[in-house]
Amino acid sequence: MDRHEKPGLRQLLFRIHLRISKILLRRMDSRRDRRICGQSLVKYVPSVYRNDAEGLGGTGSHSTNYVVLKRIFSHVVLTAQDVFLDVGCGKGRTLAFLVDEKAPCKLWGIEINEISGRIAQAWTQKYKQAEVLLGDAFQLDYNAYTVLYLYRPFLPKTFLRFVEKLEADLTHPIRLIYWADQESGFLLKNRPGWRLQFRERLKTVWGLRIERSPQSYSLWEYDPEQRRAQGAERAQ
């Protein structure tokens, strides 16, 4: 009898923990949003185009919890010489975090969804270091930036196209921070020029369950010179 009851009890406790965590995180995030941005950035905004069957398109705007951003950026050093870009910034939660943490560099975001992008543009107007572009990330010149941040803005095939664009266009090294990389982060593995610096799998932060299933983030360096050298070695 106990053997049959324990799994059910564990599932019940898991659901309770997840529910309580979601409520607390939402309240904490909303309070900090209002202090920094003058409004809450919690509400989800659906993608303008998404085809899961084909792995094409982008994801909706789901703001990363501040406690998760604190954990991710504890492994990232930004300097005054950096130029930071959030690709698919949504309503701008990551920019808000970095503004509040007094990041020393210029902060940019780009968002294709007009609903989310307009919200981000509105609140960032009061911060000189933060600016949001409304448009297609595939039309941007990434040589203007040194650090890219992605919260899984693309489905796998579109993400691969994005990586190929970076490889074709970049003339200087960059760092890439990829949150929720479990679906397509593997596509960077063993690619010439790319080097994994750090990866962590998260279930909870501060004892709070962040999602139903574990999420991971990874920190990468890309060097176009190394890519050319490694490509030449493979061709020999």
pLDDT, averaged in runs of 10, over the chain (236 residues): 65 92 96 98 88 84 94 98 98 98 98 96 97 97 98 95 97 98 95 97 94 95 94 70
DSSP 58: B
pLDDT tens digits for 14-49?
899 999 999 999 999 999 999 999 999 999 898 887
Instruction: Please state, as a whole number, how many other Cβ atoms lie within 10 Å of the Cβ of residue 107.
Output: 27
The CATH architecture that domain 3-235 belongs to is 3-Layer(aba) Sandwich (3.40)
Q: Where are the domains of the chain?
A: 3-235
Taking CA atoms, 87 is separated from 40, 50, 94, 208, 209, in Å, by 20, 17, 10, 27, 26
Token pair of 188 as six digits = 């960077």
Q: What is the pLDDT of residue 4?
A: 52
Q: What is the pLDDT of residue 20?
A: 96
